[in-house]
Amino acid sequence: MRIILLTSIDHAISLNTLKCLHHSGNSTIVIGTHLSRSIALSSYCTKFYELQGDMFNSDNKLLEIIYRINLEYKCDVLLAQGLEDMCYISNNMAHIKKIIPTMLVSPADLIHQLHNKWEFYLLLSSLNMPTPRTFLLDRVPLSYDSFPLEFPVLTKPLNGKGGEGIQYFKTKKHFDEAIRDLALPLIVQEYIPGQDIDLSAFCINGSLIAWTIQEQTLGILKFVENEEVLEICTNVLNMTNYSGVVHFDLRIDARDNSIKFLECNPRFWGSIYESAKAGVNFPERVAKVVISGEMPSPQSFPVIAWVPFKKKELLFHPVFLIKQLHTTGPFFFDYLRFLKDNAAAELYRIIYARNKSIGEKWLNFCIKNLSDNKIEYLT
């Protein structure tokens, strides 16, 4: 298949989605932003079109771009990856479907409700679903009479992702000392001791089509069966009539072994390539459903344990990489060309995680030397 991937989110998730599509034999043309520009370094990306400005709020402009790219490449399906992309498709589905077959997504209001941590908590409470005690903190000073906290607690930005901005407070004294420096609004949530467990899913009108359940311990991502996790997540998806891909973060409470919802990501997620390794290639599955136009039978996965690639990242320290740039120059890039595939893109992700400034210098240098004019800037 030839696929257009619309992505407004960061490099790591974009690259993992590309891996999934490539390993099932697809060719992918990417429409993205500066946040995902580095995936142009990957040979898994056929062409990268970078949107300038706020094109996701310019409906006609982006529609024209999708139309032009599809006309040139004769693509089979359009997939969206991030929250903003999903909402754009949701709001413009009637027009986009006239251009190219497009993945199913839920109404934009529901996508935002699931993503916003306070709105998600309110939804879970209305559905009588298990979740930690959670409060909205939107002003200070705080009255503990109306805010009965039991410590320890976590504070979380309402629309954060990937654990960004989450803080742990062990005691009331610790919390009181920090509260005036916190960026409001945010949620304050009871800390649940125990084991993280996640469910990733693709569903249509609330019916589960494909899923994986995973735990992570000591760097090992283990795919497991858990009937309770499957049941409560299926109930939420069914009661909201959700369509599209979604990833739930849950936790097994060490105190009573109960399972509680923490967060929801109504988009593709960071471990999506690991799900493919476990037997469920979500991007491929979504694309095939769109093209066939038929309601498929459910697909789960074989239970395996898989060690993520990030264990090998320690071999690529930024000091070593920058030294190579200065001492070997073009020979180092010849070596990266030889490695092909995701070498330069993976190294960018590793460097950027440790030093953003050096990471950006690396990216600009790589694009100039490696991308072979694969990037087109759209204005």
Most confident stretch, 210-224, 232-246, 349-363: 232-246
Grade residue 240 by pLDDT with cuts at 50, 70 and 90.
very high
Number of neighbouring beta carbons within 10 Å of residue 252: 19
Fold adopted by 194-304: D-amino Acid Aminotransferase; Chain A, domain 1 (3.30.470)
Per-residue pLDDT tens digits for 41-50:
888 899 999 8
**Rounded Cα gap, residues 36 and 13, in angstroms:** 9
Dihedral of CA 149/150/153/158: which sign? Answer: negative
Mean of pLDDT over the chain: 84
Token pair belonging to 180: 């005036």
Comparing C-alpha atoms, which of 242, 238, 235 is closest to residue 259? 235
Grade residue 323 by pLDDT with cuts at 50, 70 and 90.
very low
pLDDT of residue 327: 47
Fold adopted by 2-111: Rossmann fold (3.40.50)
Number of neighbouring beta carbons within 10 Å of residue 179: 16
pLDDT higher than 70, residue 186: yes
Q: Rounded to 5, what percent of the chain is helix, strand, coil?
A: 45, 25, 30
pLDDT higher than 80, residue 304: no
Please state, for a pLDDT cut of 70, what percent of the chain lies above it: 83
Average pLDDT of 73-96?
93
Instruction: Pick the range with the lowest mean pLDDT from 12-21, 221-230, 367-376.
Output: 367-376
118 vs 37, higher pLDDT: 118
Grade residue 342 by pLDDT with cuts at 50, 70 and 90.
low
Average pLDDT of 158-187?
87
pLDDT of residue 306: 53
Comparing C-alpha atoms, which of 100, 22, 87 is closest to residue 283? 22
pLDDT of residue 59: 58
pLDDT higher than 50, residue 292: yes
Q: Where are the domains of the chain?
A: 2-111, 133-190, 194-304, 311-378
Grade residue 316 by pLDDT with cuts at 50, 70 and 90.
very low
CATH class held by domain 133-190: alpha beta
